[in-house]
Chain A
Amino acid sequence: MTEPTPSVAILACGALAREIGALLAQSGLAQVELVCAPAILHNRPERIPAVVDAKLAELRARGFRRIFVAYADCGTGGELDRVLERHGVERIRGPHCYAFYRGVEAFLAEAERDPATFYLTDYLVRHFDSLIVRGLGLDRHPELLPVYFGNYQRLVHLAQVDDAELLDMGRRAAQFLGLRHEYRWVGYGELAAFVERAVRSSADGRTDHRLLAGHSGTGDRAGGTADGSPRARPAIPRSHRSRRDARAAHRNRRLSRRVAKGDTGSVRG
Chain B
Amino acid sequence: MSQQGEELDLRELDDEELVKQIQDDLYDGLKDEVEEGVRILLERGWQPYRVLTEALVEGMRIVGVDFRDGILFVPEVLLAANAMKGGMAILRPLLAETGAPPIGKMVIGTVKGDIHDIGKNLVAMMMEGAGFEVIDLGINCDVDKFLAALEQHRPQILGMSALLTTTMPYMKVVIDTLVERGIRDDYIVLVGGAPLNEAFAEAIGADAYCRDAAVAVETAKALMAKRHNRLAAGA
Contact = CB atoms under 8 A, between A and B. Distances in A.
A binds B: yes
B20 A77 contact: no
B4 A265 contact: yes
A95 B163 CA distance: 12
Interface in A233-252: 238, 240, 243-244, 247, 251
Contacts of B82: 143, 147
Nearest to B62: A247
Contacts of A265: 1-6
A262 B1 contact: yes
Given A77-B165, A95-B164, A115-B115, A240 B69 contact: yes
Contacts, number: 112
A171 B69 CA distance: 36
A115 B113 contact: yes
Contacts of A78: 165, 195, 197, 200
Interface residues of A, number: 41
A144 B197 CA distance: 27
Interface string B57-75: 0000000001001110111
A108 B166 contact: yes
Contacts of B13: 258, 263
Nearest to B5: A266
A254 interface: yes
Given A77-B197, A79-B197, 5 more contacts: A76-B195, A77-B168, A78-B200, A137-B73, A137-B75
23 contacts: A46-B194, A73-B165, A77-B168, A95-B165, A95-B166, A115-B167, A140-B75, A141-B29, A143-B82, A144-B79, A148-B118, A151-B116, A240-B69, A247-B66, A247-B71, A251-B24, A254-B20, A258-B13, A263-B13, A264-B1, A265-B3, A266-B6, A269-B27
